[in-house]
Structure 1
Amino acid sequence: MPPSLSPAPWREDAAEAREPSFAPVFPTSLDWALLQWLCYRALTRPRVAVSVSAASIVLLVLVGAGAPNNNTLGMALPLPLLGPMSALVSTTVTTAAVLLSGLGLVGLLGAHSSGWRPSPRRLFAAGAVTVAVITNLTPVGSSDTASYAAYGRIAALGGDPYVITPGQLGGDYAHLVSHTWLATASVYGPVATWLQAAAAQIGGHRPWLTVWLLMLANGAAFLATGYVLIRTAADPVRAGLLWVANPLLMVVLVAGGHLDTIVAALAVCAVHCARNYARPRDDLIVGLLVGLACSIKISAALLGIALLWPLLRERAWGRVARQGLSGAFVLAAGYSWYGTHALAPLSAASHLVAMPSLWWVVQKLGQVTIGRMGTSAAIGIVWPVLALALAWLIHRRMSPKAPPSVAVFIALTFAWILAAPWSMPWYSAVVWVMVALLPRCSMVRWLILTTTALALVHDSVGHDWSWLG
């Protein structure tokens, strides 16, 4: 094995490395507990787990091949179409795909913890075939790729996507963008804009081609990340199940073509370089990777904080300076291309509240009692405090054998996903890629539950809940 992709040094013995049981822990009655136990035992049989996971992918493919419908973009990509689906059928099939993907993942991990050891190469091959199919289908569950394409088209035409909105662009590109985002300038970093512009430059006046290229790039990043994880993780089989062969991520991450995939790829590379530190230039590489990740989505700043945290505790000031300054330089260089006004859309987006969510209920109640401005200010103060409290609780549950930077990053990002007023299922990509590095992590069951729950209410291209606005 090449030294640059050597396994993680925090490997635990086989008994300790087993995934914690997903069996129910709070039975309400003996009969109910017995039923749950029987269902769990059946689900964790390898053939059953694989079959349930495969069924979720088949349903996902049916939705994508049945575009346009209520859960896809209003366009078609290369694979043959089944014909448009009705809103009821597409929503039902998508919901079933999400539920089966979550159950399938529980079964796969449960089978693994019971001794099932599939070949990592076969897991990667299965993931590669699945990604190859999904990336040639119309995006399912999100309209983000349409927004990416529109911002790229604006940039390719010489416009400023941080000022010009998809609605102002007009044409076929704007037609694909969800009405929620037509009047919103880009909230993505300059590196994301350059990637989008490159795709739009090739796609030209054909938005379907731009979207397709973005889907292919996302799929390539997903597979590259899976390869790195399998080669470097403490348990390659577990890493494959949690990423490249993860049916839940196929549904919520790959099918939507989200930029979070690329951020996750940069994150795992940064962690790998940081843990294999040998020379000062490695710190510069880590800073470069973090800066690039932040230049795609600013939320990747949590990665920089997590990587610097153990260095600050060790008072390794030289390493802190090298990583911090190199990351800041990359980020500043990117934003200087457009100017500081490129940060303005981020400020506006920070006040968004997802619907449906508990914060949306708080927002509506607050607007009736203390007014819109007061409610927005109160939410802006409360949710970061709640996120920090959750991060502290999550960090306490992490294994002491986990690398400090990985444990801190998981705690910060998972808490952010749970507490933030605006949270989507694909935001969890960076958490999934980190737990895949570890031989075990008690957060996996909660991560499955959180990602599945968010997907059930948000994997609809923004159509199902528009009436709530």
Structure 2
Amino acid sequence: MSTTPAVKRHPQPQAGHRNGSRRHTGSAGNPAKQRRQVYAPDVWHRDHRWALVGIVGATLITIVVGFLGPSAVALTLGPRESYLPPWYLPAGTITIPNEWLVSAAIWLAIVVGAVGLFVGMRALADGWRPRPKRLFLLGTGLSLATITVPPLTSADVLMYAAYGRLQAIGRDPYEITPAEVFRGQFDPVLRWTERPWQDTPSVYGPIASWLQLLANKLGGENMHDIVFWLQVFAVVPFIVAGGLIILMAHGDRQRQARAALLGICNPLLIWAVVAGAHNEAISVMFAVAGLLFMRRNAFVAGLGIGLAGCSKVSIGIWGLAMLWAYRREPKKALLLCLGTAIPMGWAYVIWQPTAFFQALRNGGYVSVGSWAAPFYTLFAQFMTSTHAKVVVGIVSYLGLFVIGWMLSRVLPWVAAPGLPKGADVRRDPLTIALRTSLVLSVAWLVTSMYTLSWYDLIAWMPLAVMGPSKLDRLMTVRGAALSLAYVPGRAIDVGPALDVTAHRIRDTLSPAVQILVLVAIVLWWKKPRRPEMFPFRAPKGVSRSERPEGDGQDDGRAGEGRDQAPARGRRRTATAE
């Protein structure tokens, strides 16, 4: 018997294996059954189970707060005369929910959802391979459950109902405001609208206006029922757009899982778009449908983006991206323009000629949670508010071009699914359209004077189908801050303590975060090889040859160097999920 002490030898880690996670087989010891590897993380911040807990938990908190009934965050919808959703506790069952309780609960939901999304993205990069269909069904279920309770924090849906009501009584929502009617006569729908947009004509496209009218036809003269149909018209396009993004990633299960997580399963989007019943998804749904035809039929692609523009003009930046994708193919570019012009011309020239100019009104506002708000406030101390807005507006438009150019230099060229291996991604119209729409959308969102969390949908959709980059983290941080900024988010009276707290989040925390996002993009452009969001310090122990994600420089060939896991380690595992 040897007296030499035994030495415990640890097996060498496999190439690309990341510390903090492990893999085990799931074949149950049957040699005839194909062995598969199951993702089994050892740290919580790469654990898909914690990600799902955060995503589901955020939605459940939202639903509970809504079910408590009208409060500082849940809208008051007037009398209920049917069994249709949204459902909530009958009046008198409990006292009006404490404003601090419901506000803090929503703040918690937003933070929990953002953390869950972040953990989910890390798990995907680390080797988690969920079934895209399951993620799609989960996101669909969460979205549908969300519309069973009243909309939260934003009263925009009440204005949608008001604009539809104006059409129902024969008035033009682009020419007259709801306040002009209900201040002169009683109206069972308009009386439930809230400040501050009661004196503002509609800024939405003809398709959105038609859906607002349809909701009034279906809901009658009851605001509660009208809001339910508006919730349906918000969630169905959101689900369809999320499904189309997953379809766009066909043939690549990893990419489909990413598309599902960042799209329909994204808790920040479920909160911003679905819980608030915003109509952003209508235009995005048509635009994504148009993108699906970029490789097959330029005319149909144009019809898609044209219909999208008939809902919201801001989606036109995707149209510019699609046109840029065809810049080397004049015939297809012409067909795209023709397809776009047909629905746009019919909607804005024949159907609603005043709608186009009204839809551009948002460009003249400054939102409190944006980067521009503190500068506008500062300049307004030395000049008129109009001049201050002009100065900030000029900076905003200049920033759009500068940030857009910077992003175009660093955003990786990742082939859109379906491109043959070895093909040049820089000549693929779908890849170019996706990448350019992402660049333009993010540049517009982060530099705009007027920006809100539900606007981010136009960036999350192309980002979901593209490969991972630093934008994943930047959009998560940006979206969470903007969402926090608008809780309670309504122009109603609340206690002084909550009022001060909410305003400091809105006018201090959120603008600071938006400015930091701009700084992070500039630093990304300046130091594209650094993976940190804020690479101020010199890297420690990093070789010059190491290339983290996001430098945007590659050979432009599909299927070569396309592994999208972070440079610190790659995981290629299957999952039993």
TM-score, normalization by structure 1: 0.85
- 1:268 corresponding residue in structure 2: 288
Inter-CA distance 115–306: structure 2 relative to 1 (3 Å threshold): same
- What aligned pairs does 1:48-197 form with structure 2 within 5 A after superposition? 48-75=50-77, 77-81=85-89, 83=94, 84-170=96-182, 171-197=187-213
- Secondary structure, aligned partner of 1:357: coil
Give the letter aligned to residue 166 of structure 2. I
Unaligned 5+ runs, structure 2: 1-14, 21-40, 79-84, 416-430, 492-498, 508-577
Give the letter aligned to residue 48 of structure 1. W
Give the letter aligned to residue 392 of structure 1. W
After superposition, give the CA deviation of every residue in 1:85-120 in whole Å (9 maximum; x if it has no partner).
222111111111111110000111111222122222
* In 1: Cα distance, 2:503 partner to 2:476 partner: 26
Instruction: Select 1:355's aligned residue among 368, 383, 386.
Output: 368
Asked whether the equivalents of residues 72 and 143 of structure 1 are also in contact (C-alpha less than 8 Å), the reply is: no
* In 2: Cα distance, 1:349 partner to 1:425 partner: 15
* In 2: Cα distance, 1:125 partner to 1:131 partner: 10
- 1:240 corresponding residue in structure 2: 260
* In 1: Cα distance, 2:135 partner to 2:309 partner: 30
* CA positional deviation for 1:466: 8.0
- 2:324 corresponding residue in structure 1: 309
Asked whether the equivalents of residues 124 and 244 of structure 1 are also in contact (C-alpha less than 8 Å), the reply is: yes
Of 205-214 and 173-182, more deviation after overlay is shown by 173-182
* CA positional deviation for 1:362: 1.8
Asked whether the equivalents of residues 135 and 215 of structure 1 are also in contact (C-alpha less than 8 Å), the reply is: yes
Instruction: Select 1:198's aligned residue among 209, 214, 222.
Output: 214
Which structure has the larger Rg?
2
Inter-CA distance 218–356: structure 2 relative to 1 (3 Å threshold): closer
- 2:379 corresponding residue in structure 1: 366
* CA positional deviation for 1:268: 1.5
* In 1: Cα distance, 2:353 partner to 2:232 partner: 31
Asked whether the equivalents of residues 72 and 461 of structure 1 are also in contact (C-alpha less than 8 Å), the reply is: no
- Secondary structure, aligned partner of 2:381: helix
* In 1: Cα distance, 2:503 partner to 2:349 partner: 36
Give the letter aligned to residue 267 of structure 1. A
Between Structure 1 and Structure 2, how many residues are aligned? Answer: 428
After superposition, give the CA deviation of every residue in 1:22-63 in whole Å (9 maximum; x if it has no partner).
xxxxxxxxxxxxxxxxx9932321222222222211111112
* In 2: Cα distance, 1:351 partner to 1:230 partner: 35
- Secondary structure, aligned partner of 2:442: helix
- What aligned pairs does 1:369-384 form with structure 2 within 5 A after superposition? 369-384=382-397
RMSD: 2.5
Give the letter aligned to residue 218 of structure 1. A
After superposition, give the CA deviation of every residue in 1:282-307 in whole Å (9 maximum; x if it has no partner).
22211111111111111011011000
Inter-CA distance 216–339: structure 2 relative to 1 (3 Å threshold): closer
* In 2: Cα distance, 1:273 partner to 1:224 partner: 16
Are 1:252 and 2:272 counterparts? yes
After superposition, give the CA deviation of every residue in 1:296-324 in whole Å (9 maximum; x if it has no partner).
11101101100001212x1x221111211
Asked whether the equivalents of residues 391 and 411 of structure 1 are also in contact (C-alpha less than 8 Å), the reply is: yes
Give the letter aligned to residue 372 of structure 1. S
* CA positional deviation for 1:338: 5.0
Unaligned 5+ runs, structure 1: 1-14, 22-38
Percent identical across equivalent pairs? 26
Asked whether the equivalents of residues 52 and 103 of structure 1 are also in contact (C-alpha less than 8 Å), the reply is: yes
